[in-house]
Structure 1
């Protein structure tokens, strides 16, 4: 088995076909097919992909287990190559960043822009994950280089507290509570709520808020993105509770801090043995403002 075979198998799983994987990798289709056959033959003739699936090539049960380990191996190899090539201002390679949904919405883009300006040959991949359990699983497997989370992931990680995110409530245009600079949570009794997926960290925060303030939730909708929740609340579908930095500027006039204050820490969790790219990103994140008052001020 080779890293090239691992990369080819991961591309097939991502694209769902050998043809699309070949296009992604910029290689001939027979080359991809040959590498996959070699993998299967070299592993006691196992079948990694089901060729009869109606939606394209789908990993089998054995294939999914294999691909998880292949991803770990490929990520480790890329990090090793990046570290070996790193030298002064010629830092290059790949950094994989995961963000707990709603955190660092304004701070992370600024840090990444500065990082790319300093190291233009560095490739950074970022994805937003609503489920903290999934982030923890990825962290334990060593797939992530850096994660922005409310609590440090279990497993080998180097945690750094960057600051705190204060939550705000977003109200519909013309809502009577907009007359106040701050909204008491108990005043929201009877309001319909735009919420998030049940397994998401954001909905966990809201569940705690509803319970602690003895509010009976009326769930009008569940969404998967903070921007969607804000837009729907702004249109009067219901109210929502999000980190202040997740409110787009066009909707800030509809957002209000709440009382009692709702906040959560923002932690940058680096994998153990983090390289110079991850360390550089951490330092840039430290320079960002991690308190809502610096960029959010309610407009009456």
Structure 2
């Protein structure tokens, strides 16, 4: 088996046809077909089922492709590390953040990284589920992840700071007159919540229960910005990390009492290269604490 075969198989799985995969890889179609057939013969299994609409990975194929993805990603990182110099870094980084975490800090750090290494490609996505984020870390798919907690060793996990959570209220809400909102004063409030399996909804539910509240749910959303905007339209209160509040909504936001905060942990892949470490250094330079103070009426 070769790395090229892995790349061809992944391209076929993503594109659904040999023709589309060949176009993407910029190689002749027969070459892709030959490599896939050779890979299947060597493995002694069928990786793809041939259907009228294209190729679909079999159950065995999906398991193989998961490992092939890890191998190809590792090879790309190895090439990037080998080619890294004092003034140039090329390759690809895959970064994931627990939804709502680092919303302000991560773009600043990535912008600085891009200016420093313009040829370094970075893919970033938000993951609502902390369990899924942990699983992706264990598989080695991610180069760097931001999350509230992890089971990795101290050598891989770095505490950047803490995200304080704030409440977002509708215009004219009586509690906006307070410097901090006592959560128990929101006992009659309806809430804009998040998807049931998301870490943010777990935080909201835990905080409310700790303060003797049973939330009435008016809506469930998938993004922090959507939750803030819906709360700003009077659909209900919501609870989000302070850095996740979109610009223009600061006047509707207050810190809560008792304070709610979660640590922000940066987890590097094992054997992290210079790109990951440069990004980690930039993240350490960002401000991660006291962000909720700016939402006080007296600020």
User: Post-superposition shift, 1:153?
Assistant: 4.1
In structure 1, the residue matched to 2:49 is 50
In structure 2, the residue matched to 1:162 is 160
Question: Do the aligned partners of 1:16 and 1:58 also contact (CA within 8 Å) in 2?
Answer: yes
Question: Do the aligned partners of 2:180 and 2:256 also contact (CA within 8 Å) in 1?
Answer: yes
* SS state at 1:90 partner: coil
Structure 2 stretches lacking a partner, 5+ long: none
In structure 1, the residue matched to 2:113 is 115
* SS state at 2:249 partner: helix
Cα deviation digits, residues 143-196 of structure 1 (max 9, x gap): 211111111244796111110000011112222222222211011112221111
Matches within 5 A, 1:103-182: 103-154=101-152, 158-182=156-180
Cα deviation digits, residues 228-251 of structure 1 (max 9, x gap): 111111111111110000000121
* SS state at 1:220 partner: strand
Question: Do the aligned partners of 1:156 and 1:272 also contact (CA within 8 Å) in 2?
Answer: no
In structure 2, the residue matched to 1:61 is 59
In structure 2, the residue matched to 1:37 is 37
In structure 2, the residue matched to 1:3 is 3
C-alpha change, 1:153 and 1:89, in structure 2 (3 Å) is farther
2:280 is aligned with 1:282: yes
Question: Do the aligned partners of 1:5 and 1:35 also contact (CA within 8 Å) in 2?
Answer: yes
2:27 is aligned with 1:27: yes
| Matches of 2:238 and 2:118, distance apart in 1 | 38
C-alpha change, 1:58 and 1:156, in structure 2 (3 Å) is farther
| Matches of 1:35 and 1:51, distance apart in 2 | 16
| Matches of 2:295 and 2:216, distance apart in 1 | 28
Moved more, 261-270 or 219-228: 219-228
C-alpha change, 1:185 and 1:144, in structure 2 (3 Å) is same
| Matches of 1:196 and 1:264, distance apart in 2 | 17
In structure 1, the residue matched to 2:89 is 91
* SS state at 2:191 partner: strand
Matches within 5 A, 1:241-260: 241-260=239-258
Question: Do the aligned partners of 1:140 and 1:155 also contact (CA within 8 Å) in 2?
Answer: no
Cα deviation digits, residues 186-241 of structure 1 (max 9, x gap): 11112221111222111111121011001011112211111111111111111111
User: Post-superposition shift, 1:53?
Assistant: 7.9
Quote the RMSD (CA, aligned, Å): 2.0
C-alpha change, 1:13 and 1:153, in structure 2 (3 Å) is farther
TM-score by length of 1: 0.92
Moved more, 261-270 or 23-32: 23-32
| Matches of 1:13 and 1:186, distance apart in 2 | 52
Moved more, 280-289 or 232-241: 232-241
Number of equivalences: 298
Q: Aligned match of 1:215 in 213, 216, 223?
A: 213
C-alpha change, 1:35 and 1:148, in structure 2 (3 Å) is same
Question: Do the aligned partners of 1:97 and 1:144 also contact (CA within 8 Å) in 2?
Answer: yes
| Matches of 2:296 and 2:28, distance apart in 1 | 57
| Matches of 1:221 and 1:254, distance apart in 2 | 19
Question: Do the aligned partners of 2:254 and 2:292 also contact (CA within 8 Å) in 1?
Answer: no
C-alpha change, 1:155 and 1:74, in structure 2 (3 Å) is farther
C-alpha change, 1:50 and 1:155, in structure 2 (3 Å) is farther
